[in-house]
Structure 1
């Protein structure tokens, strides 16, 4: 059996990353762990998708590099041109725009960013020439009933700081921290090819792209006409400022390194910066306090990346109690599940203050997964995860089109039989 295009692409990136992963220092582990396990999950879902649906050539969307942006300083970590994949809308969706910001972790040191520039997460030289559009990006009405005919853009991620880095921090490092400039250059390009006439627009993103969505949500609102309906969707982007199992603030320390290295503070809310240190202002729980544009959060209370890198990061479990559990949540014993449920409680507590805001919608399920909107199997299919019999696609659409208020919080694991829990022992 021949592999699908997406699985072949994924395997190539996975093999490249395995070599990269073996060269890490402990300090750099978080970025590699993110990218590594994100690609593992992509490989897992690609296998599932190939089993049920083959990608047609019309779903393979070519990469559009933007060499002209180099003149304004909008470049990837290695100095190559950024870019995106664009599929033109049609019919009733011809003046509707859906943008999706690619995820892929962050780099927090000169060494980790230097390694990253030899991958597709730091250089357009290594990016795929075509990618399949599925899930929220699908043009198939049966798989994406509300957004199928919109103009759709997948914006590639090559700066390592959620499109929020600034060149003043480069200081002769041989790296280019241009995330904010990349964001602005790509927005200008999209405005020039029709987005300036949008009637409605949705900015979305997965993981580090979900965080970027929150960082730039109000910016996105401001660059579009006042009469345009503008909203934002962050998928798996609500990263917690929680201590790990050994009581260390691993994630806060990591974000502090990213913010300091790439000058991210200039892209964060001034109201937050006036009250606390910049690294805290990169956490979604603080960003959301200042966002004025409507936001929807798709999230798992058992997000595997956060379990692996915030709750049980590298080095925190020398005895290996969590090893099997982190590969498959079904392997977690009662004691570990209890710890996971306390982590879930921290998430719900952080979300609680936003549940009263009508402009903020939520779909928080109890699946062992990370990113659910860009895969057809989890976005909208007969076997998609559901809460109160609603899929993610139905929930997002009902919220976007103001059909109803959506505030769906799942019961604790393992209560939801519709979950597609990832099993890394099978990849």
Structure 2
């Protein structure tokens, strides 16, 4: 039933620069225009790999490993994807990782979309296709921990489900849809929508079509992809199935930066137009506004009919660094210390961050009043919380009203209680103080 081609990749031939070098890529300029967020996804990827395989440095000074060899899951290439034109940026086959469910979870499915930023120019996408975020040739095993763990003590509600991690290799949250293979003389493929279709068809053929329960989730750019494809995911499954979606750190705000510039809006406009993402966006939305605005979650969620849960920090460090305070809007580097560690922010900066928190809560107000929606909005300086053991469900996990993210999500998914947890403003939550990434 689950026969698929599984491979283990050799280490990438790309250089593996230190994290400091990777961060230098976050802001680069071409023809006078900045391209911040394209490379930021790679920073997140490096952080994920290091924090998973090295250790978690806690505030107490102790060290806890986050994964082991037994948590690693092999890569599976999508069959016949190339024949359908469903390919990564470099033309390689899209891929996913599958761990079969067991016992009472044999007919339940958790499907997760990997994150990793976006690319908005041919040049940045060409660079990206030489990384695991643009080529399955450079992908390897991944750990299944946090929400994907098979350990019941770490993952009480979903430990025995079928679990899938969809690898992200198109650079537009699985929404690109351009027929041409050549852009400005560079061979590159923008086929995210076809990747989504091909992977869904394969998963349906190996058991997802018989799901009794199904949960689509995603982190960061994968969280945005989850919002874009949530209703389509439900439409592909039996009407009798309980189907829900979760976006983790994927609620990117349409807000101006500290210099009054619409940095994120301009960036998304470039992504949508370059990669032909308009065709994947809600038709009612794009009939009323510019397509790139329909790439923002606060517009997408207005049209989602499937029950939806939002996990997000009110002080998401990625959004603070790239939407609120991009480097180009901080020429004197006044925010450097604050962006590295929220505990280093001065009173004026904290005031601005509190305004950013209010903007997030305002954007979520519609979901807050929806009977089917759930949320966990904490005050930690963090980005993506469901895939890590320490933030999903552990003794040191962030809590709101003494509940972990796993507690809250499980209660909501299984209708045990209404869950709309919104944390008090920073610095009131002591469980966040160990959750600082610098």
- 1:316-395 to 2 correspondence within 5 Å? 316-395=329-408
Greater mean alpha carbon deviation, residues 395-404 or residues 414-423:
414-423
SS at match of 1:86: strand
Q: Deviations over 1:269-315 (max 9, x none)?
A: 11101110000001000000000000000000000000000000121
Which residue among 135, 145, 152 is the counterpart of 1:141? 152
Query: Contact between 1:98 and 1:152, CA under 8 Å: does it hold in 2?
Result: yes
Cα distance, 1:132 vs structure 2: 1.1
Cα distance, 1:92 vs structure 2: 0.2
Query: Contact between 1:170 and 1:262, CA under 8 Å: does it hold in 2?
Result: no
- What is the match of residue 4 of structure 1? none
Change (3 A) 1:41 1:185: closer
SS at match of 2:42: helix
Report the Cα distance in structure 2 between the residues aligned to 1:166 and 1:265, rounded to whole angstroms.
8
SS at match of 2:258: coil
Report the Cα distance in structure 1 between the residues aligned to 2:331 and 2:44, rounded to whole angstroms.
20
Change (3 A) 1:418 1:207: same
- What is the match of residue 79 of structure 1? 91
Q: Does 1:422 align with 2:433?
A: no
- 1:209-220 to 2 correspondence within 5 Å? 209-220=222-233
Q: Does 1:284 align with 2:291?
A: no
Report the Cα distance in structure 2 between the residues aligned to 1:13 and 1:141, rounded to whole angstroms.
35
Report the Cα distance in structure 2 between the residues aligned to 1:79 and 1:20, rounded to whole angstroms.
27
- What is the match of residue 260 of structure 2? 247
- 1:394-409 to 2 correspondence within 5 Å? 394-409=407-422
Cα distance, 1:167 vs structure 2: 2.0
- What is the match of residue 309 of structure 2? 296
Count how many residue pairs are aligned between Structure 1 and Structure 2. Answer: 415
Cα distance, 1:171 vs structure 2: 5.2
Cα distance, 1:27 vs structure 2: 2.4
Gaps spanning 5+ residues in structure 1: where?
A: 1-7
Report the Cα distance in structure 2 between the residues aligned to 1:14 and 1:93, rounded to whole angstroms.
41
Report the Cα distance in structure 2 between the residues aligned to 1:13 and 1:127, rounded to whole angstroms.
14
Cα distance, 1:45 vs structure 2: 5.5
- What is the match of residue 247 of structure 2? 234
Q: Does 1:94 align with 2:106?
A: yes
- What is the match of residue 106 of structure 1? 118
Report the Cα distance in structure 2 between the residues aligned to 1:13 and 1:401, rounded to whole angstroms.
43
Greater mean alpha carbon deviation, residues 33-42 or residues 217-226:
33-42
- What is the match of residue 7 of structure 2? none
Change (3 A) 1:350 1:263: same
Q: Deviations over 1:345-404 (max 9, x none)?
A: 111111112211011100000000000000000000011000011100010000000011
Cα distance, 1:341 vs structure 2: 0.4
Give the TM-score, by structure 1 length: 0.93
SS at match of 1:387: coil
Greater mean alpha carbon deviation, residues 87-96 or residues 170-179:
170-179
RMSD over aligned Cα atoms: 2.1
SS at match of 1:238: coil
SS at match of 1:152: strand
Query: Contact between 1:169 and 1:262, CA under 8 Å: does it hold in 2?
Result: no
- 1:123-138 to 2 correspondence within 5 Å? 123-128=135-140, 130-138=141-149
Q: Deviations over 1:48-94 (max 9, x none)?
A: 44932464433110011125211111100000011001000000000
Query: Contact between 2:54 and 2:65, CA under 8 Å: does it hold in 1?
Result: no
SS at match of 1:205: strand
> 1 or 2, which has the higher helix percentage?
1
SS at match of 2:156: coil
Cα distance, 1:263 vs structure 2: 0.6
Cα distance, 1:203 vs structure 2: 0.2
Report the Cα distance in structure 2 between the residues aligned to 1:66 and 1:16, rounded to whole angstroms.
32
Change (3 A) 1:233 1:319: same
Q: Does 1:40 align with 2:47?
A: yes
Runs of 4+ residues deviating >6 angstroms? none
Report the Cα distance in structure 1 between the residues aligned to 2:67 and 2:182, rounded to whole angstroms.
45
Query: Contact between 1:14 and 1:36, CA under 8 Å: does it hold in 2?
Result: no
